[in-house]
Chain A
Amino acid sequence: MDLALWIEFIIKGFILIFAVLTGFAYLTLYERRALARIQTRIGPNRAGPQGFFQPVADAVKLIFKEELTPAKADKVLFVLAPIMTVVPAMILAAVIPLGTQFTLPFLNRPVTLYVSDINVGVLYLTAIASIAVYGIVLAGWSSNNKYAMLGGLRSSAQMISYELSLGLCFVIAILLGNSMSLLDIVEAQKSVWFVVIQPVGALIFMVTTLAEVNRAPFDMPEAEQELAAGYHSEYSGMKFALFFMAEYEKMIVISMIAATLFFGGFREFWFLQGTVFSVDHFWWLGPIYLLLKVVVLLFLMIWVRATWPRIRYDRLMAFGWKVLLPLSLALVFITALGILLANQFGAIYIWTIPVLSILAGLIAVLLVNMSLRRKVAHA
Chain B
Amino acid sequence: MTPDLIAFFVLALIAIAAALGMLLGRNVVYSALFLVLNFGTVAVFYILLDAPFIALTQVSVYAGAIMVLFLFVIMLLGTETLPVSKALPWQRPLAFVLALILAGEAGYLLFFRKVTSGTIPQPVQTFGSPQAVGQALFNQYLLPFEVTSVLLLIAMVGAIVLTIKEKGGQGK
**B-binding residues in A (CB < 8 A):** 1, 74, 76-77, 118-120, 123-124, 126-128, 130-131, 133-134, 137-138, 141, 149, 153, 156, 160, 180
Complex Cα distance A130/B64, Å? 5
- What are 5 contact pairs spanning A and B, CB under 8 A? A119-B129, A120-B52, A127-B64, A128-B59, A180-B130
Asked, given contacts A1-B3, A118-B52, whether A141 binds B29 with beta carbons under 8 Å apart, the answer is yes
Complex Cα distance A74/B3, Å? 38
* Nearest 5 pairs of A and B residues by beta carbon: A130-B64, A127-B59, A123-B56, A127-B60, A127-B56
A153 touches B75 (CB 8 A): yes
Smallest Cβ-Cβ distance to B67: which chain A residue = A134
B17 on the A face (CB < 8 A): no
B65 on the A face (CB < 8 A): yes
- Residues in B with CB closer than 8 Å to A77 are 29
B64 touches A133 (CB 8 A): yes
Complex Cα distance A131/B3, Å? 28
B129 touches A123 (CB 8 A): no
Smallest Cβ-Cβ distance to B47: which chain A residue = A118
Number of interface residues of B (CB under 8 A): 23
**A-binding residues in B (CB < 8 A):** 3-4, 27, 29-30, 33, 36, 52-53, 56-57, 59-60, 63-65, 68, 71-72, 75-76, 129-130
- Residues in A with CB closer than 8 Å to B64 are 127, 130-131, 133
A153 touches B59 (CB 8 A): no
> What's the nearest-Cβ distance from chain A to residue B11, in Å?
15
Complex Cα distance A168/B4, Å? 36
Complex Cα distance A127/B65, Å? 10
Asked, given contacts A127-B64, A134-B36, A134-B68, whether A120 binds B59 with beta carbons under 8 Å apart, the answer is no
Q: How many A-B residue pairs have CB under 8 A?
A: 60
Smallest Cβ-Cβ distance to A180: which chain B residue = B130
Asked, given contacts A130-B63, A131-B63, A133-B68, whether A120 binds B56 with beta carbons under 8 Å apart, the answer is yes
From B3, B4, B65, contact of A130 by CB (8 A): B65
Complex Cα distance A156/B76, Å? 14
- Residues in B with CB closer than 8 Å to A133 are 64, 68
B63 touches A120 (CB 8 A): no
Complex Cα distance A160/B130, Å? 24
Complex Cα distance A126/B33, Å? 20
- Residues in B with CB closer than 8 Å to A1 are 3-4
From B56, B68, B76, contact of A160 by CB (8 A): B68
From B33, B60, B65, contact of A123 by CB (8 A): B60
Asked, given contacts A120-B130, A141-B29, A160-B68, whether A130 binds B59 with beta carbons under 8 Å apart, the answer is yes
> What's the nearest-Cβ distance from chain B to residue A80, in Å?
8
Asked, given contacts A119-B129, A130-B60, whether A156 binds B68 with beta carbons under 8 Å apart, the answer is yes
- Given A123-B56, A128-B59; 16 other pairs, CB 8 A cutoff: A1-B4, A119-B52, A120-B52, A120-B130, A123-B60, A126-B60, A127-B56, A130-B59, A130-B68, A131-B63, A133-B68, A137-B68, A138-B33, A138-B71, A141-B29, A149-B75
Complex Cα distance A128/B52, Å? 14
- Residues in B with CB closer than 8 Å to A119 are 52, 129-130
B130 touches A123 (CB 8 A): yes
Complex Cα distance A74/B25, Å? 14
Smallest Cβ-Cβ distance to A129: which chain B residue = B64
Complex Cα distance A185/B57, Å? 20
Complex Cα distance A74/B64, Å? 22
- Residues in B with CB closer than 8 Å to A127 are 56, 59-60, 64
> What's the nearest-Cβ distance from chain B to residue A161, in Å?
12
> What's the nearest-Cβ distance from chain A to residue B97, in Å?
34
B63 touches A123 (CB 8 A): no
Smallest Cβ-Cβ distance to A1: which chain B residue = B3
- Residues in A with CB closer than 8 Å to B30 are 76
From B59, B71, B129, contact of A137 by CB (8 A): B71
Smallest Cβ-Cβ distance to B7: which chain A residue = A1
Smallest Cβ-Cβ distance to B63: which chain A residue = A131
Complex Cα distance A153/B71, Å? 10
> What's the nearest-Cβ distance from chain B to residue A102, in Å?
25
> What's the nearest-Cβ distance from chain A to residue B49, in Å?
14
> What's the nearest-Cβ distance from chain B to residue A336, in Å?
12
